[in-house]
Amino acid sequence: MLADYLKFAFNNLRHRKLRSWLTMVGIFIGIAAVVALISISQGLQGAITEQFEMFGTNKLMIMPGGMGAMFGAFGEELTQDDLDVVQKVEGVDIAAEMFYRSGKIKFEDEIKSTFIIGLTTDETAEIIKNMQGFEVEEGRDLKKDDKYKIIIGWSLWNNDFFEKSVNLRDKIEIKGKEFRVVGLISKIGNRADDSQVYIPIETAREIFDEPDEISTIFVQIKEDVNIKDVAEEIKKELRDSRNEKEGEESFSVQTFEQILEQVNNVLGVITIVIVGIAAISVVVGGVGIMNTMYTSVLQRTREIGIMKAVGAKNSDILQIFLIESGFFGLAGGTIGIAAGVGIAKVLEIIAYQANFPLLKAYYGAPLLIGALFFSFVIGAVSGTLPALQASRLRPVEALRYE
């Protein structure tokens, strides 16, 4: 019996092709938007999680500002005294300092703005390189006796920053000082990081006239030590050193697990808002299905009367129209899923070309099956009232309808 209902509903859609396509437009646009946005969001979250896992779970960062430091709320700057306090905390293996400023760099006659990073030149530099995810591909790292030497990001030596590529032994001017290029950094993956330059931290402090300031402290914890306990101990010691009360800290101590949780929370909220907006299209599509089904009931009133006259029950008529409206949602959802996957893949390719490989599309089975099921339910629900109206028609009145 169900096979007959399905065949009957499908034939009706096939005989009204134009109306069927127009009815499905709202559904497939909404489903395409939802699938594309969710797949990009899930792909981005997965890529970010993968990046953080590469850094390891035994590292943390200390930054100026309170809990919102990573989002731009800066407070009292960190100093060498803070670094000394951190290094003495039990459980800390290595503590490395970094100093950075946004500034202008000049190559030949061209001037561009970028981040100028001051790096340590001893063994502590390794923890920063690991956490920042870069390595020298050509040339060498900065050495202890270097003063006006510089290593440059991938974009600068691959003709993607200045009009002309910068090569080893070329000179770059910063704050009136000439720096000779001694190292070329491999591609990190995003435009901001790939356009940065790195100089010795003492030189960076000198040219920016900040002799004691630290922008970020990177900490590696000893093995078999609870990183959360060490983080709490670092907070306590820094509060005591800076004469600050708990909850009023002018600094932020964050493990990568905490940072990842914050990033995922922000991405989750953004995704919910955007998907909610896109879902409006699906609702509009549902209203279109309802309108089409009401029209179909009116046009097929005599047909309904004939079916009832030969023995069809109210439940049979109800199922036929529900299946038909569900088909609208299912077909629109199928097309929407295909379009959404295509859109997400195009966005991934565009992001890759723009040096942002973290933006990836993820097509999980739960997403695709869920979208298909959701579109079918929207179609079936939208057709419920028209189907009830059709099932309640009296045979005699239906046969008289012109």
* Tens digit of each residue's pLDDT (9 = 90 or more) over 146-170: 999 999 999 999 988 999 999 999 9
Contact by Cβ (8 Å): 75, 267: no
Mean pLDDT throughout 39-45? 84
pLDDT at 175 over 60: yes
What pLDDT does residue 392 have?
Answer: 80
Distance CA 322, CA 23 (A): 15
Distance CA 11, CA 291 (A): 19
pLDDT digits (tens, 9 = 90+) for 50-76: 766 666 678 889 998 754 444 444 457
Contact by Cβ (8 Å): 115, 159: no
Q: How confident is the model at residue 198 (pLDDT cuts 50, 70, 90)?
A: very high
Pairing between β-strand 197-200 and β-strand 59-64 as defined by DSSP bridges: unpaired
Distance CA 305, CA 386 (A): 15
Top-confidence residue, 389 or 190: 389
* β strands within 120-271, DSSP E: 136-139, 149-152, 171-174, 177-185, 197-200, 213-214, 216-221, 251-255
Contact by Cβ (8 Å): 142, 200: yes
Top-confidence residue, 8 or 289: 289
pLDDT at 192 over 50: yes
What pLDDT does residue 9 have?
Answer: 62
pTM of the complete model: 0.63
Tokens of 254: 């964050």
pLDDT digits (tens, 9 = 90+) for 355-368: 676 778 888 888 88
Distance CA 75, CA 339 (A): 47
Tokens of 253: 């101590």
Task: Work out the percent of the chain whose per-residue pLDDT is above 70.
Answer: 88
CA 244 to chain centre: 36
Distance CA 165, CA 175 (A): 21
What pLDDT does residue 73 have?
Answer: 44
Question: Per-domain residue ranges for the chain?
Answer: 2-52+261-400, 77-249
Contact by Cβ (8 Å): 167, 107: no
Q: How confident is the model at residue 205 (pLDDT cuts 50, 70, 90)?
A: very high
What pLDDT does residue 12 have?
Answer: 65
pLDDT at 285 over 90: no
Mean pLDDT throughout 24-50? 83
